[in-house]
Chain A
């Protein structure tokens, strides 16, 4: 995909997830740079639902701004830098503070885990990265440098998603469309799990069902169908 199209897709992804309430005033989606290995694209520090194509900035592998004409970047760009460095298979990342997953980020009693088909990526329990483990209990909880970004990426390991204690989550994917679909599924899955816990006894998935499905290729029909639908809902493809 051409870099200009990637920028447009990145803006749309931010606006869609803002419109759907996965992101609010804060949070951000990034994408690997198609031409500069190790680099990635992320918007200037602006609420995701408000970003526009000129807001898209380029960062190097260490999270440093490349060019940008004095634009102010997100403090937490090191989340993205850390994940891209550790995971060559990941080409898009969403950092969010979605309300539905936050209780699971602080709960010591219940793990966020697979409940419905669309949340199978949660597996037996989504790991929680606690910034206090590596950086003490007096930080402002933001991922402010590469050391912290790397610590988070280590905890992510080969998972699709990781929770950050008292903060939010990081969702990874191959392509912007997949990360949008997964972020929406994350929210559905968390809400379903809470509701199921309230309702009492549950029907359980069988072992084969609980195994992660074989990975669909990037740009699979599911992601594209989602994309058209959510683009329309966010008012982004009326032409």
Chain B
């Protein structure tokens, strides 16, 4: 059964707060969710007004059009990079939630020619090499790293392709999933994978996951009970569950 917009609003606020609490997001970054009621004048996706994710409340969340503009014109400040979300939802019907983060552990891999890759089983979704989107190559002369219009978002979505993660050179990453719960699991696993890979690299040679051990992100099977187990854990840690 499809979830209601109200249910997704609550999950989305919690996903923002959890990833803030876990240090995946800091003052910046954001999580969005596809609006289950999209169409007929309802917005394509849901995203907070410009606010640090750990502080996001349901009342901060607005509906945005498929082009990334607020459905109801708002005087509230909006995230400049909302086009990341708009373009990914347009390109990927399988995606139900998107996180854009500047997680410290993945940032070195966004700059290094050593690719971020799956080295632990919980991060099977990364694959043999996370793509890196370099705005300065895609848009020569661009001085800002920010995905501040739809064309930039579409270019990033193309780099993401069918995958679950793409890095933004010197900036951060995007992680996608079927629901906020899956995005939370993936983001935390991504942070851990990056830390493990960086240490193993310093130690010398290491064995990453074999290609067949990585997840087919387009055909991931039924939603995992493991995501719900983790969701309860992270809700409690963030003080969102008594």
Do A and B actually bind? Answer: yes
Residue pairs across A and B with CB atoms within 8 Å: the count is 101
Binding stretch for chain B, among A80-88, A131-139, A230-238: A131-139
**B183-201 CB contact bits vs A (8 Å, 1 = yes)?**
0010010001001100110
Closest to A45 in B: B229
Contact A194 B213 (CB under 8 A): no
Query: What's the interface size class on A, roughly?
Result: 20 to 34
Is B139 an interface residue, CB under 8 A from the partner?
A: no
Contacting residues, chain B, for A167 (C-beta < 8 A): 120-121
Contact A26 B199 (CB under 8 A): no
Binding stretch for chain B, among A102-110, A151-159, A176-184: A102-110
- Chain A nearest Cβ from B235, distance in angstroms: 10
Contact B205 A166 (CB under 8 A): no
What secondary structure prevails in chain A residues at the interface with B?
loop
Contact A138 B192 (CB under 8 A): no
Is B230 an interface residue, CB under 8 A from the partner?
A: yes
**A84-106 CB contact bits vs B (8 Å, 1 = yes)?**
00000000000001010011101
- Chain A nearest Cβ from B108, distance in angstroms: 15
In angstroms, Cα B230 to Cα A25, docked, is: 5
Interface centre among B119, B200, B210, B225 (most CB of A within 10 A): B200
Contact A72 B121 (CB under 8 A): no
Contact A26 B229 (CB under 8 A): yes
Contact A50 B213 (CB under 8 A): no
Contacting residues, chain B, for A49 (C-beta < 8 A): 233, 236
Query: What's the interface size class on B, roughly?
Result: 20 to 34
- Which of A47, A106, A136 touches B196 (beta carbons < 8 Å)? A106
In angstroms, Cα B188 to Cα A38, docked, is: 36
Contacting residues, chain A, for B209 (C-beta < 8 A): 141, 166
Contact A106 B233 (CB under 8 A): no
Contact A110 B204 (CB under 8 A): yes
Is B128 an interface residue, CB under 8 A from the partner?
A: no
Contacting residues, chain B, for A108 (C-beta < 8 A): 204-207
Binding site for A on B (CB under 8 A): 118-122, 124, 185, 188, 192, 195-196, 199-200, 203-213, 215, 225-226, 229-230, 232-234, 236
A-B contact pairs, 20 of them (CB 8 A): A25-B188, A26-B230, A72-B225, A97-B120, A103-B196, A103-B199, A103-B200, A107-B205, A108-B204, A108-B207, A132-B213, A137-B212, A138-B210, A138-B212, A139-B212, A141-B209, A165-B207, A166-B209, A167-B121, A197-B203
